[in-house]
Every structure is written in structure tokens, then in C-alpha cells.
Amino acid sequence: MAAGSTYTPIATTTLGSNQSSVTFNSFSGYTDLVLIFNGTITTGDDSWGVQFNSDTGSNYSSTALYGDGSSAGSNRTSSSTKASTSYSGTANSTTIINFQNYANSTTYKTALVRNNGGGFVSARVVLWRSTSAITSIVASPNTYQFATGSTFTLYGIAAA
Amino acid sequence: MANTYTLIASSTVGSGGAANIEFTSIPATYTDLLIKISARQGADNAFDLTFNDSTTSYSTLRLQGDGSAVASNNAGGVTSAIRSIGIENTNNTANTFGNTEVYIPNYASSNYKSVNVDGVNESNGTEIYMNLLAGLWSNTSAINKIKIAANAGSLVEYSSAYLYGIKNS
């Protein structure tokens, strides 16, 4: 894999306290984005996801393939107010989200997700039904909070 | 110019094969680690991933498809390693090598280590798997050594692994 400007760290944060949400913005000039989460959720297992451009409308959907160590399944959410990406708990978990072609103003936006956490391993695809370029990303748990010490890093991938 | 991905080390198995590939003296100067593996071994698709010569406190969750069904298991509850899948074996078509990518975020932290492993071994035959795997090493030590060990026989000649360090700044 080539080193250099193709894959650039944009922003990183290590939570100094429990947080209900984490926001990224100011990431223009790339083709794709990659968000790496490594951390825990306060209190217990919880789903979490992302919203774009402060859109809290029912414009998100998500389809998951998952396993819990004994059985596998698939589920989906539709017309949701958040793109469900992950399931995490009080044990250390990881999520990697690839946002493809996030800055175009023609197509609805999709992202591919790999998540380990809360006793599940999963792969997901999420959709935001908007043609707007993504200018901000807010990650938030549904019920609890991201716990102290959790880390988020956003990388930009430039095609040229 | 950011230099996000840095090749730390690589290893290619030579003539006669090898029981494992090891990366030692991994510096703690990166944020995450990424390993790209291309490998083939004896009559099993599984391989063991261990850190710092530890053989305790691992757990594995697998989600796998074999071309006809999707299933999930915990690798038999093995705790001596993250028992991964993604290596071709001698029952597979000759000359095919499996591909696996291992992502280890915050490998130098004092948290337990959550590990992503995505592996495939397509060979136009039977014993074909696509695996998404969640691994956990419940140990607070920084990872400074990684062993990729064949679970059956030896890794054959030309099996390879590349270890990259990823910096977030």
C-alpha cells in the first residue's frame, strides 16, 4: 500500500470524559473518508450510528449481516433518523466506516461498515438519502454515551 | 505530507515452509497496525494469531459464509489465540493462497485489544470460506510481537505477511 498523501489523518480525538456525541467537520478535498472507532460505551451494550450535515430527518437506512458466535443473521432499519453503524458495549470494540465519494452532489451517500462489539461481529451498508456533499459527521449512541478513553480518527483518501 | 501508512516489516516463507511468521520488536510509535496476509498451509483453513508470546485471554467471534450458508461460531471457545480463517490449505486448489487483513487499533494502549480480521479463501472448489471475525485479547500490555501460526502443517513457500503502522497525525 502506497504511503504518502493518499491516506491522510484529518482529525483524531480521545475522549477525556463520557460524551453523547462526537462531531467531525472540515474535511474537504478528499475522495473518500475512513472513520476508525476504538472504545467502549458507558453502562451497557448499545447501538450507535452517524448523522450527516445535522440532518435529523428520517433519511437513513442500514442493512447488517451479523453473528454472535452461535448464530448468524441479517437485519435492516429503514427511514431512520440515524444511520445505524455499530453495536458496542463496555468491552473494547472497533468500528471501521468507509464513506465513498462523500463530497459529490449528485448521488445519495453510502458507507461500508465493519464492527466488532457488544458480543457481535458485523458488516453493514448504510445509506443517507441526500445528494448533498457530506460536510459534517456526528456519531452518537442511541441510549448511553461513548466512554472516556474511546478514540475516533478520521482519515481522508485522495484519488489524486 | 502525511506518511500515514508505513511498512514496518514483511516476511515471505522460503523453500521448505515455516510453522509461523513472526513480527518482533514492533515499535509503539504508531496508532494502529494493519497486517496483510497471503498464505497457504496444511489441511486446515484456520490460523492462530497471538501477541507478545501470550497464549491466554483470547476470544474469537466468527461470521462466515461458505457459498451455501451463513453461520457464526466462537472458534470452539479457544482462548490460546485468535483463531482466524483465511488461509488456503492442501485440500484447496493447487497454487491458491488465501487473503487476510488484520486491523489492530490502539495496539500500544493499555486497553484490551479489539481486533478486526477479514479473511477469504476462494479456490473454485470446496472448503471455501469468507470470514468476518472479531478478536479480543483481554490484556493491557502494548503489543510488541505478533505471531501468525499455521494451525495445520506449515505455511508453504511464498506465503507472506506485511505489517504496516498507521499514524493518526
**Residue matched to cell numbers 497525525:** B169
Average pLDDT of span A26-31: 92
Q: Considering only CB atoms, which chain B residues are within 8 Å of A92?
A: 111-114, 136
Nearest-CA neighbor of B148 among B39, B57, B43?
B39
pLDDT at A3 over 50: no
Report, as an integer, the average pLDDT of B79-90.
Answer: 90
Those of residues 12-31 in A touching chain B at CB distance below 8 A are 12
CATH assignment of A1-60+75-105+134-160?
A: 2.60.120
Report the percentage of chain B scoring pLDDT > 90.
77
**In contact, B35 and B146? CB cutoff 8 Å:** yes
Distance CA B70, CA B127 (A): 14
Check pLDDT > 50 for residue A2: no
Task: Classify residue B80 as left (phi > 0), alpha (psi -120 to 50) or beta.
Answer: alpha
Categorize the per-residue pLDDT at B128 as very low, low, confident or very high, splitting at 50, 70 and 90.
confident
Decide: residue B16, CB within 10 A, 0-12 exposed, 13-18 middle, 19+ buried: exposed
Name the DSSP class of B55.
-
Q: Is the pLDDT of residue B68 over 60?
A: yes
Q: How far is B62 from chain A, CA to nearest CA, in Å?
A: 6
Confidence (pLDDT) at B121: 87
Is A8 an interface residue toward B (CB < 8 Å)?
yes
Q: What is the reported pTM?
A: 0.93
- What values do phi and psi take at B25, rounded to 5? 50, 45
Chain A: residue whose CA lies nearest to B105: A38
pLDDT of residue A4: 45
Contact B70 A72 (CB under 8 A): yes
Domains and CATH numbers, chain B: 5-166 (2.60.120)
Mutate to test the interface with B, among A94, A115, A153 (most CBs of B within 10 A): A94
From A2, A65, A91, residue closest to B112, measured CB to CB: A91
Of B62, B53, B118, whose CA–CA distance to B81 is shortest? B53
Cα A106 from Cα A14, distance rounded (Å):
34
Half-sphere exposure of A66 toward its Cβ, with a 13 Å CA cutoff? 19
Alpha-carbon distance B114 to B43, whole Å? 28
Residue of A nearest to B111 (CA): A92
d(CA B164, CA B8): 5
ipTM of the complex: 0.90
